[in-house]
Amino acid sequence: MSLRSFLSSRTGKNFYNICYCWGACLVILGAVLKIMHAPYDNLFLMIGLFTEVFIFFISGFDEPSREYKWERVYPILNDKNANTDPTVTKYNVKNVMNSTHSKALQQLNKNVETLNELYINKLNEMYEAQIKQLKNGASSADLQESTRKLADEIAVLNEKYKKMLETIN
C-alpha cells in the first residue's frame, strides 16, 4: 500500500490526526516546560517539533481536497453582470406566488391545513373517548384497546403526512 493510499484511508486519516494532535501537545508542553525551566524541557520541545516536522512532511503526500465546479450548478456565478439583489431578481418569492405555481401552492397549503385539522380532530376524539371511559370506570383492557386505536389512527395520519412530504420533495 502506498503512502498516498494509506493517508486517503480512514486508518491513515486517524493516524494523521493522532500524530498531529500529539505533536502539537508536545510542542506546547515543551514550550511550557522551557518557560518554567523544568527538567527535560528541551527533550519535550524537540520531540514535539520533530513530530510536527514529520506530520508536515507526510502531509505533502496527502491528496488535496476536491475542487467543485459550482458554476455548473449555479450558472449565475459565471455572469459578471448578474443581478444578485433579492428584491429585484426574477425568482423573487412574491413573483413565484403570483405565477402559475400559485394555484398549486394554494392547493398544497389547503391540503396540509385539512390534514392538520383531521389529525387534531382524531386526536381530540380519541382523547375524549378515553376520558369518558375513565369516568365510567372502564377496565385497563378497555383503556389499552382505545390507546391501541389511537396509536393506529396516528400511524395512518403519519403515513398521510409522509406521502405528502414525499410529493413535496
Domain ranges of the chain: 3-59, 101-168
Q: What is the pLDDT of residue 88?
A: 63
pLDDT at 84: 66
Question: What single-letter amino acid sits at 152?
Answer: D
What pLDDT is recorded for position 90?
A: 56
Cut 0.75: pTM above it: no
Q: What is the rounded CA–CA span in Å between residue 24 and residue 13?
A: 16
Can you tell me the distance from the alpha carbon of 95 to that of 72, in angstroms, rounded to the nearest whole number?
25
**Type of residue found at 158:** N
pLDDT, tens digit only, all 169 positions of the chain: 687 788 778 898 888 888 888 888 888 888 898 899 999 888 888 888 888 888 888 888 777 777 888 877 777 777 777 766 666 655 544 554 555 566 777 777 787 788 778 878 877 887 787 777 777 776 777 777 777 877 787 788 778 777 777 776 5
Look at residue 6 in the predicted model and tell me its pLDDT: 82
pLDDT at 20: 82
Structure confidence at residue 141 (pLDDT):
74
Q: Give one DSSP letter per residue of 46-106, joined into a string.
A: HHHHHHHHHHHHHHTTSPPPPPP-HHHH-GGGG-TT----TTTSTT-HHHHHHSTHHHHHH
Residue 36 pLDDT: 92
* Whole-number pLDDT of residue 65: 73
